[in-house]
Each structure stands twice: as structure tokens, then as C-alpha cells.
């Protein structure tokens, strides 16, 4: 049951992220503004969407990197692993420093192998 609920939360939150990004102006912004691209060259990538969102993916390897997100400083709820409600997060919390960098950690054995944060998931 936990795995089903976990996957359901991730899907619902990804839809919210997509909905937040659906304005025509923002869609054009996304197409033209993939930012802060990073890859280890071996099944791991990360990138931002201007100052609106950031995602990181891994397949089969632990990812532990200090990466530029492009987001404003603060704590963000990873919308893949949980929900942001009433200033708290039911999943992972990622802290972005004043310089826009965050420590990103994804284990090879984690179900999703992805984190996603965005401005509407700021705690």
C-alpha cells in the first residue's frame, strides 16, 4: 500500500507542478530557459527552469552533489517524495542557499530516482 500511495503523491504533485507551469508566457519561458544543466555523464542529470523550478534524476547510482538550482534561498518540499502543507513537508526537504546552490542527494535504491522543487513548494 505504501508504494502505491507514494507513487500517487508523486503523480499528483507533478500535475500540480505542470499546472503551475501551464501559462502560455511561462511555457515559452521554459522552452527558452533551461538553466543550470549538470550531468555526470553516467545516468545522472539535473537542470533548472529559470528561477521557477529544479529537477534532478539518477538511474542506478547514488547522486550526491552541490548544485546550482537557480531558485531563491529557502527550504523547499521535494514534490516527488511528499506534499507541502501548512509550512511543512511530508517528504524530503531541500535547502537552497543565498547563492542558489543546494546539496542534492538521491540514493540508487530510492524508488523514484528523482527530486523536483519549485517556487510554489517553498516552505
89 phi and psi, to 5 degrees?
Answer: -125, 135
Within 13 Å of residue 37, how many CA atoms lie on the same side as its CB?
Answer: 3
Find the domain containing 81 and state its range.
2-121
The DSSP 8-state label assigned to residue 122 in this structure reads B
Q: Tens digit of pLDDT for each residue in 70-104?
A: 999 999 999 999 999 899 999 999 999 999 999 99
Place of cell 529537477: 55
Q: 104 with 113: CB under 8 angstroms? A: no
Q: 24: part of which helix (H) or strand (E)?
A: helix 24-32
Q: Tens digit of pLDDT for each residue in 26-59?
A: 445 545 568 899 999 888 989 998 899 999 999 8
Distance of CA 105 to the CA centre of its chain: 11
Domain tally, the chain? 1
Place of cell 542557499: 97
CA distance 106 to 109: 8
Q: Which CATH number goes with the domain that contains 41?
A: 2.60.40.1180
pLDDT in the model for residue 25? 52
Amino acid at each position: 500500500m505504501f508504494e502505491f500511495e507514494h507513487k500517487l503523491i508523486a503523480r499528483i504533485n507533478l500535475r500540480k507542478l505542470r499546472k503551475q507551469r501551464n501559462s502560455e508566457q511561462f511555457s515559452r519561458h521554459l522552452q527558452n530557459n533551461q538553466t543550470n544543466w549538470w550531468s555526470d555523464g553516467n545516468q545522472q542529470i539535473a537542470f533548472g527552469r529559470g528561477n521557477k523550478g529544479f529537477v534532478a534524476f539518477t538511474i542506478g547510482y547514488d547522486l550526491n552533489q552541490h548544485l546550482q538550482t537557480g531558485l531563491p534561498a529557502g527550504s523547499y518540499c521535494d514534490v516527488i517524495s511528499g506534499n507541502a502543507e501548512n509550512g511543512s513537508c511530508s517528504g524530503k526537504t531541500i535547502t537552497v542557499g543565498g547563492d542558489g546552490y543546494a546539496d542534492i542527494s538521491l540514493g540508487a535504491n530510492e524508488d523514484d530516482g528523482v527530486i523536483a522543487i519549485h517556487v510554489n513548494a517553498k516552505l
